[in-house]
């Protein structure tokens, strides 16, 4: 069974003159558990809107979204919020960490809100996530005292603290330099290999080359698909994947 499936998914925005502007156009999408799928395409093609719509943060105009067998249109706002808190993780270009909390407290806050585990279990998981992400020494730091790459590592830990079934990323490396972006993508690739499904929007070919499958969006529709297979983290594999993806994107007009 697909972890995420859309049928005829459409999304319109209403302008100030009460005119409808289509942003997503009858999208059919299927994602298997454990897949790593990247969304690419020019600005305004609908990548971010698709992420927000399939996660229930934005209402669809028509069609259906089914997540883990649940039709999102049939859920109340509270049920959608609970689903996002417990079953979905989110990483954005801007980290949205709270300034009045240190790194550790930012990571564990949503786990306390979910209240599915004991405090000791939550703290243990946070410590393990920080260790794997290489930020254990920063746990007590204020968020103004660490780099952008370190903040994004903390944001990844926060997204994973409730052990979500799927991780959504909206340009998660967009504000980082190339070195930090590469390190973040290596972490995400490891997360995916451990079984977490990832759906990510990006404009960066090097970033998308870590994905198993790349969907090219154009004018609110999925215009093409390129399969790369699972990433094996070797330098030769990375270069080959990037070259193949770049050639395909060129054919797509990117």
What does each of the 254 residues of the chain score in pLDDT, given as a tens digit?
Answer: 999 999 999 999 988 777 889 999 999 999 999 999 999 999 999 999 999 999 999 999 999 999 999 999 999 999 999 999 999 999 998 878 999 999 999 999 999 999 889 999 999 999 999 999 999 999 999 999 999 999 999 999 999 999 999 999 999 998 898 898 889 998 999 999 999 999 999 999 999 999 999 999 999 999 999 999 999 877 778 899 999 999 999 999 99
Would you state the pLDDT for residue 236? Answer: 78
| Tokens encoding 127 | 């410590």
Q: Within a 10 A sphere around the Cβ of 114, how many other Cβ atoms?
A: 15
Domains observed in the chain: 4-252 (3.40.50.300)
Q: Within a 10 A sphere around the Cβ of 43, how many other Cβ atoms?
A: 7
Angle CA 130–207–41, to nearest 5: 130
The C-alpha R_g of the chain, in whole angstroms, comes to 18
Query: How does strand 213-218 pair with strand 70-71?
Result: unpaired
Q: Are 197 and 34 in contact, with CB atoms under 8 Å apart?
A: yes
Would you state the pLDDT for residue 14? Answer: 86
Task: Round to whole Å and give the CA distance between 137 and 99.
Answer: 18
Would you state the pLDDT for residue 114? Answer: 93
Q: Within a 10 A sphere around the Cβ of 38, how many other Cβ atoms?
A: 26
Q: CA nearest 36: which of 223, 166, 222?
A: 166
Query: In degrees rounded to 5, what are phi and psi of residue 222?
Result: -85, 110
Enumerate residues 6+ apart whose C-beta is below 8 A from 251: none
Q: CA nearest 56: which of 89, 32, 81, 35?
A: 81
Task: Round to whole Å and give the CA distance between 35 and 60.
Answer: 24
Sign of the Cα pseudo-torsion (203, 241, 188, 47, in order): positive
Would you state the pLDDT for residue 86? Answer: 96
pTM confidence score: 0.94
């Amino acid at each position: 069974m697909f972890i995420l499936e859309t049928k005829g998914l459409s999304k319109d925005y209403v302008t100030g003159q009460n005119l409808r502007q289509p942003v997503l156009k009858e999208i059919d999408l299927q994602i298997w558990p454990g897949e790593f799928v990247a969304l690419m395409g020019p600005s305004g093609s609908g990548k971010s809107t698709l992420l927000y719509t399939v996660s229930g943060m934005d209402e669809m105009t028509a069609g259906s979204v089914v997540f883990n067998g649940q039709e999102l249109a049939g859920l109340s706002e509270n049920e959608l919020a609970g689903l996002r808190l417990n079953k979905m993780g989110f990483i954005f270009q801007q980290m949205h960490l709270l300034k009045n909390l240190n790194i550790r407290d930012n990571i564990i806050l949503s786990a306390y809100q979910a209240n599915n585990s004991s405090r000791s279990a939550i703290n243990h998981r946070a410590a393990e996530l920080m260790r794997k992400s290489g930020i254990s020494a920063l746990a007590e730091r204020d968020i103004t005292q660490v780099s952008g790459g370190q903040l994004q590592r903390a944001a990844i830990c926060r997204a994973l603290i409730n052990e979500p079934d799927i991780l959504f990323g909206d340009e998660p490396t967009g504000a980082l330099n190339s070195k930090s972006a590469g390190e973040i993508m290596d972490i995400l690739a490891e997360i995916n290999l451990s079984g977490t499904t990832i759906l990510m929007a990006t404009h960066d070919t090097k970033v998308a080359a870590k994905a198993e499958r790349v969907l090219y969006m154009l004018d609110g529709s999925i215009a093409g698909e390129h399969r790369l297979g699972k990433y094996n983290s070797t330098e030769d594999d990375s270069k080959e994947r990037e070259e193949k993806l770049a050639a395909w994107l060129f054919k797509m007009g990117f």
